[in-house]
């Protein structure tokens, strides 16, 4: 006994198309993960994406910028950080920066002024919370090879004894086998002169 079934080819094609569309949506790059090339500032954050907590690079739509001219009574610091950042964006040797001092003395404003001055030359800023400083190698994987120049900015940086973030920062600053990305510097502020 043989049984014959007739398959409606148009219904089968429609079903296959629905399956393909579902798979594309499920595995397409997430909007939260897409790099917004029009933005000048980003935040490294943790969010739930498709039910999984993961790090994402989120564009800051309206970053709080300030001009160097608006900063008063810190002329020496302005000159030094502006010169260092200028060297960085032009591909010359530049240093990572740690700004220390009491609250309200303009440390974060100096970093924002660098972004305001040099973003037309390709400078970009990624703000990294001190709780996520251990993600620096992952962030460097993202920035390495890109045409932009990145400042990884950590505000109010300090470590408690045994904090694993300190080791990650030290590895990035001292260099690892992979080396440091030539297009990335770390600018940090701290209210403490000693980070530990």
State the average pLDDT over residues 4-23.
66
Q: Which DSSP string do the residues of 161-178 spell out, in sequence order?
A: TT-HHHHHHHHHHH--TT
Residue 105 clears pLDDT 50, i.e. is over it? yes
How many angstroms separate the CA atoms of 96 and 163, rounded? 21
47-to-25, 30, 36, 38 alpha-carbon distances in Å: 19, 12, 17, 22
Residue 32 clears pLDDT 50, i.e. is over it? no
Give residue 21's pLDDT.
59
Give residue 47's pLDDT.
84
pTM: 0.74
Return all residues near 47 (Cβ < 8 A) that are at least 6 apart: 32, 53, 54, 56, 58
Residue 176 binned pLDDT confidence (cut-offs 50, 70, 90): very low
Which run of H or of E encompasses 129? none
Residue 14 clears pLDDT 90, i.e. is over it? no
Give residue 196's pLDDT.
41
Say what percent of the chain tops pLDDT 70: 73
Give residue 158's pLDDT.
65
E-strand spans in 4-85? 41-49, 52-59
State the average pLDDT over residues 164-191.
67
How confident is the model over 134-173, as pLDDT tens digits?
A: 888 889 888 988 999 999 999 988 656 655 555 555 555 5
Which run of H or of E encompasses 184? strand 184-190
State the average pLDDT over residues 87-96.
96
**Number of Cβ within a 10 Å radius of residue 184:** 23
Arithmetic mean of pLDDT over the chain: 81
Give residue 29's pLDDT.
46
Tell me which of 16-25, 73-82, 93-102, 136-145 is least confident: 16-25
Phi/psi for 27 (5° steps) reads: -110, 5
Residue 52 binned pLDDT confidence (cut-offs 50, 70, 90): confident
The structural domains of the chain, ordered by start, are 41-190 (3.40.50.300)
């Amino acid at each position: 006994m043989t049984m014959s079934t007739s398959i409606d080819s148009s219904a089968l094609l429609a079903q296959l198309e629905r399956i393909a569309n579902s798979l594309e949506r499920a595995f397409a790059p997430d909007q939260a993960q897409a790099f917004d090339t029009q933005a000048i500032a980003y935040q490294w954050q943790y969010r739930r994406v498709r039910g999984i907590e993961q790090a994402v690079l989120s564009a800051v739509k309206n970053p709080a910028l300030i001009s160097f001219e608006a900063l008063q009574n810190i002329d020496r610091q302005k000159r030094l950080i502006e010169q260092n950042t200028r060297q960085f964006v032009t591909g010359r040797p530049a240093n990572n920066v740690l700004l220390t001092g009491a609250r309200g003395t303009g440390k974060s404003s100096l970093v924002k002024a660098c972004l305001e001055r040099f973003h037309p030359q390709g400078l970009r800023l990624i703000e990294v919370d001190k709780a996520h400083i251990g993600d620096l190698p992952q962030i460097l994987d993202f920035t390495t090879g890109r045409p932009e120049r990145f400042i990884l900015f950590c505000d109010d940086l300090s470590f408690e004894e045994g904090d694993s973030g300190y080791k990650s920062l030290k590895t990035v600053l001292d260099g690892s086998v992979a080396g440091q990305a030539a297009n990335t510097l770390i600018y940090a502020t701290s209210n403490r002169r000693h980070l530990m």
